[in-house]
Amino acid sequence: MANKSKFQAIRGTRDLLPPETALWNRVEQTAHEVFTTFGFGEIRPPIFEPTELFARAVGGETDIVSKEMYSFPDHTLWGVEGQRTNIILRRPNFEDIRAVSLFVSQVDDFISQVDVALKAGEMPKTNDNDRALEQLRSGSDRISTFLVPSTAGLSEEQFKLTVAFIQDAAAALKFGDQVSLRPEATASVCRAYIEHNMQQLPQPVKLYYMGPMFRRERPQKGRYRQFYQIGAEILGGPDAPAIDAELIEMLMTFFDKCGLQGTELSINSIGHAADNCRRGYVARLKAELERVKDKLGADSQRRIETNPLRVLDSKLDHEQPIIEKLPRIADHLCDECKTHYAAVKHELELRGVIYRENWRLVRGLDYYMRTTFEITAQGLGSQNAVCGGGRYDGLVELLGGPPTKGIGFAIGEDRLILSLQESGKGAAPQGRDVYIAWMGERAYATAIRAAKDLRNAGFRVELPPTELKFGKALERASKLGSRFALILGDNEVQSGEWTLKNLATSEQQKLTEQALLDYLHGL
C-alpha cells in the first residue's frame, strides 16, 4: 500500500516531478525561443487580481467566473469580521437591559477595533468605510441612551430602528478587496497594457506569458484545478489579417518544434456584434432553435435563451444531426468580416499553415470577434483541445482602456505534455555522466576538485557525501544511471592518472585530468 501521510496535494492539484519536469522545461524553453523569434516579449503578471477584473473580462455569467474561481476577501481581520457577523445577527430584546447593555459594549468594542484597523491601514481607507464608521458611532451614541432609566419614554420601535441602523453600518464596512486566483491571463495582460500605458509603445505590442491558472472544475485526465497555460497576446495596431495568420503560424511552429503529433488546426470567423453580422445571425439561429426545441436536451433548451451560440458546442449524439442543419454564421457575416476571414485564410495559405474550417467554433462573449481557432492533438481522449484563441477587439476598452485591437491564444501546457508523453516524447530519467567513487581522505579532496571542474564543464556529476566501499559505490553509480565511474584512490592521486570506468562496457582507462575532460567532451 502507498505511504499515506496526513497531507496530500489538494484535489485537482498535483506535484510535477523529475524526470517529467525536464520535459516541462524543454517545452517552456521552446516557447521562449520560438516566441522571441516572432518579436514577442515575456510578461509575468501576478497570480491574483481583483475579482472584478475577471468578472468583467471573462464574463460574470460564464461558468469560469460564476462557479470556478478561487476567490477570497483580501484581509486578515477574521476576528473583527467575526465580531461584525455577531453584531449583524443579534436581535437584542428591548426589555432585557442586560442584553441591551451587552450589545452596546459589543458595538463599542467593534468600533474601537475598526478604528485601529483603519488607522493602521489594515482596512481600506475609503469614504464608504469612513462613513460607515461615522454611522456606527452615532448609532452607538443613540443606543446607549436606551440604557439610561430617565429616557424610559423611548419606544421599542425606535430601539429596533437604531439596532438596524448600527447593523447596516457594520454590514457596509469593507475589510478588504475581493480577489481571485487567476483563471486565465488575458484579462491581466490587458490590465497591464492599460496600467503601463503600453498604447504609447510602437504598436502592436506582442506579449507572451506562462504559468499556473486556477479553476475549480471537476478533475479528470487533462483537467485540473491548478493547470498551466502558455499564451500570447497581440494588442494595439491594426486588425490586419496577417496579424491573425502570423500568430497562428507562430503557434504551429511552436507545436512543431515541441514534436507534438497529430495536431489539427480549426478556424472560424464569428463576425462582430452588429445587427447586420453576428447579432443578426444569432437571432436567426435562435428562431431556428425554437422550432426544433422539443428535440433538444435540457442544456441546449436552456441555452436557446441564455446563449444560443453555445448550443453549437453540444457533444450530445442525438443533437448532432439537428445542429448540422442549423444556419451557419459564414452565410451571415457582414461584407467586412467576410473579407477579413477570406484574407486570414489566404494569409495562412501563404505561410503554408494547414487548417480546417469549423463553423461551430464559437465564443460566447460579445467582445470576441472575427477569427477564432482551436488546436487539437492526439492521445488526449475527450479533452483533446490543447489550445484556444481568438480576436477580442473590444476587451481593452471594456476594462477602461482606449479602443484597442487584440488577439491571442492560450495553450493548455498540461495537455501538451500529456500528448507528448503519449506519443513517446516524454523525458528520459535524468542520469549522471560521472559518478565519483573516492576512497580515503586524500582522494576526497581531489574528488571535490574533480567534481567542481567537471560540473563547470557542464557534466552531471554525483559525488557521494560519505566514503563507500568500492563495490557499493559502483552499484550506486549504476542505480543512478551513470555513464562513467571516476575511480579516485591513493594510487590515482599519487600518480595523477585517474581511472575512468565505462559502466556500460566495463572498460577502464587511465587518464590525466585534462585528458579526461578532453575525452568526455569528445563523446
Residue 83, phi then psi, degrees to nearest 5: -60, -40
* CA 519 distance to own-chain centroid: 46
Q: Shortest distance, CB of residue 242 to ligand AMP, whole angstroms?
A: 23
CB 278 within 8 A of CB 271: yes
214 touches ligand AMP (CB under 6 A)? no
Q: Shortest distance, CB of residue 322 to ligand AMP, whole angstroms?
A: 26
Q: Shortest distance, CB of residue 61 to ligand AMP, whole angstroms?
A: 15
Residues ≥6 apart with Cβ < 8 Å to 349: none
438 touches ligand AMP (CB under 6 A)? no
Amino acid at the residue 284:
R
363 touches ligand AMP (CB under 6 A)? no
Q: Shortest distance, CB of residue 68 to ligand AMP, whole angstroms?
A: 8
Q: Shortest distance, CB of residue 393 to ligand AMP, whole angstroms?
A: 17
Q: Which three cell numbers stand for residue 481?
A: 544511471
Binding mask 373-402 for ligand AMP (x = CB under 6 A): ------------xxxx--------------
Among residues 229 and 482, whose Cβ is nearest to ligand AMP? 229
Distance CA 281, CA 327 (A): 8
367 touches ligand AMP (CB under 6 A)? no
Among 35, 54, 209, 224, binds ligand AMP (CB under 6 A): 224
Among residues 114 and 187, whose Cβ is nearest to ligand AMP? 187
Residues ≥6 apart with Cβ < 8 Å to 376: 263, 264, 266, 384, 385, 386
- The angle formed by the CA atoms of residues 243, 249 and 250, to the nearest 5 degrees, is 90
Distance CA 270, CA 272 (A): 7
Give the residue among 379, 366, 164, 385 at the shortest CA–CA distance from 270: 366
415 touches ligand AMP (CB under 6 A)? yes
410 touches ligand AMP (CB under 6 A)? yes
414 touches ligand AMP (CB under 6 A)? yes
Query: HEC string of 172-240?
Result: HCCCCCEEEECCCCHHHHHHHHHHCCHHHCCCCEEEEEEEEEECCCCCECCECCEEEEEEEEEECCCCC
227 touches ligand AMP (CB under 6 A)? yes
DSSP conformation letters of 151-169: GTT--HHHHHHHHHHHHHH
Alpha-carbon radius of gyration of the chain:
33
223 touches ligand AMP (CB under 6 A)? yes
Among residues 391 and 415, whose Cβ is nearest to ligand AMP? 415
444 touches ligand AMP (CB under 6 A)? no
β-sheet with 48-50: strand ranges across: 48-50, 178-181, 71-73
Among 28, 52, 122, 217, binds ligand AMP (CB under 6 A): 217
Distance CA 30, CA 53 (A): 31
Distance CA 378, CA 460 (A): 34
365 touches ligand AMP (CB under 6 A)? no
Q: Shortest distance, CB of residue 248 to ligand AMP, whole angstroms?
A: 15
The closest residue (CB) to ligand AMP is 412
Among 30, 51, 229, 446, binds ligand AMP (CB under 6 A): 229
Asked, as a colleague might, if the bond just before 204 is cis with ω within 30 of 0, I would say yes
215 touches ligand AMP (CB under 6 A)? yes
Amino acid at the residue 331:
D
Q: Shortest distance, CB of residue 40 to ligand AMP, whole angstroms?
A: 18
Among residues 169 and 418, whose Cβ is nearest to ligand AMP? 418
Among residues 273 and 385, whose Cβ is nearest to ligand AMP? 385
Q: Shortest distance, CB of residue 305 to ligand AMP, whole angstroms?
A: 23
β-sheet with 41-42: strand ranges across: 41-42, 205-214, 226-235, 406-412, 385-391, 369-376, 264-269, 356-357
Q: Shortest distance, CB of residue 374 to ligand AMP, whole angstroms?
A: 7
CB 259 within 8 A of CB 325: no
Among 184, 264, 467, 513, binds ligand AMP (CB under 6 A): 184
Q: Shortest distance, CB of residue 387 to ligand AMP, whole angstroms?
A: 5
Residues ≥6 apart with Cβ < 8 Å to 111: 133, 136, 137, 140
Q: Which three cell numbers stand for residue 253?
A: 511552429
Among 204, 241, 406, 412, binds ligand AMP (CB under 6 A): 412
Helix (H) or strand (E) run with residue 357 in it:
strand 356-357
118 touches ligand AMP (CB under 6 A)? no
Q: Shortest distance, CB of residue 426 to ligand AMP, whole angstroms?
A: 18
Among residues 184 and 239, whose Cβ is nearest to ligand AMP? 184
Among residues 347 and 413, whose Cβ is nearest to ligand AMP? 413
277 touches ligand AMP (CB under 6 A)? no
Using CB under 6 A as the binding criterion, the count of chain residues that bind ligand AMP stands at 16
> Rule CB under 6 A: which residues touch ligand AMP?
184, 215, 217, 222-224, 227, 229, 385-388, 410, 412, 414-415
